[in-house]
Structure 1
């Protein structure tokens, strides 16, 4: 399997990221693709990405000039300001992770992870999360995100990397799992 090295998103790469995001939103793919390849639920704007980038580096992987994967990091401060992220940030304050209240841990949020079609199954997902751990584990105790319960590919991939489910909830008639990767041990 090829080894992939993550870099950090620059302002010049934002259009490529937004294009990759749009092409993988659940409303833009077939139900079969969503079931077998996973999907994105939320669409982030350029303004949201810029806000996220002010606080944290955004790991990306490119092949030549093509952005083939990204994994968005969101500080707690940014999550509180971003309407899409605010519910997860508020919920995290009352959740526990391995016996500790998340509010007492140095934590941040995973905004979204995506690997370009044709590049999936080659280790990019793991490489993007390895970049998160390299970039942020000295500053943070854990990373938290939520995944649609019916996004089975994403659920399995997150579990493989080391995430564990810490909560399940309903939002808009859809079931969501809140998962965390604890870096303290």
Structure 2
């Protein structure tokens, strides 16, 4: 049985990193990334831990194994991941200096658990665990990641802005 919680151990963070590695474009075929989606950012354990200490990442666990995750990234970490800096710049253009949102830094579901509702339940859990005063979850999706765009749209994310950065089209999306 799968249950949802905030990450609380170093082992859980290490399992997040292992699942992340399995879904980076450099570790899957072009066909698989087009069909199944992919993750863009490769985090370090130190980055994950610092983010988790501020607001625990949301994980789906089955038999003591992390089978899915949604990374919580407080806006104060907006400058720590190079590829995400443009996203935070675009968010600031829309929201000003308000920091009353949580950035979802990355979401991933193990291949063995896709199509079983984990994606939706990760976001439901994230909404429940938002710090007091936070009213929105914001993230971005690579325009080439059609599976992720469709999945986010299906659970109620709305496009806030489409922009180009690093030679790629990005969809900045939000969920109230």
Tell me the TM-score normalized by structure 1: 0.88
Judge conservation of contact 2:3–2:62 (CA < 8 Å) in 1: no
Are 2:52 and 1:53 aligned?
Answer: yes
Match of 2:87 in 1: 88
Distance in 2 (CA, whole Å) between partners of 1:31 and 1:179 is 25
| TM-aligned CA deviation for residue 102 of structure 1 | 5.5
Judge conservation of contact 2:75–2:99 (CA < 8 Å) in 1: no
Task: Please state whether the residue corresponding to 2:33 is helix, strand or coil.
Answer: helix
Judge conservation of contact 1:105–1:142 (CA < 8 Å) in 2: no
Task: Please state whether the residue corresponding to 2:137 is helix, strand or coil.
Answer: strand
Distance 1:51 1:105, change over 3 A: closer
Distance 1:105 1:18, change over 3 A: closer
Distance in 2 (CA, whole Å) between partners of 1:46 and 1:139 is 28
Distance in 2 (CA, whole Å) between partners of 1:25 and 1:77 is 25
> Structure 1 stretches of 5 or more lacking a match?
96-100
Distance in 2 (CA, whole Å) between partners of 1:67 and 1:112 is 15
Are 2:134 and 1:152 aligned?
Answer: no
Task: Please state whether the residue corresponding to 1:71 is helix, strand or coil.
Answer: strand
Match of 1:6 in 2: 4
- Aligned-CA RMSD value: 1.7
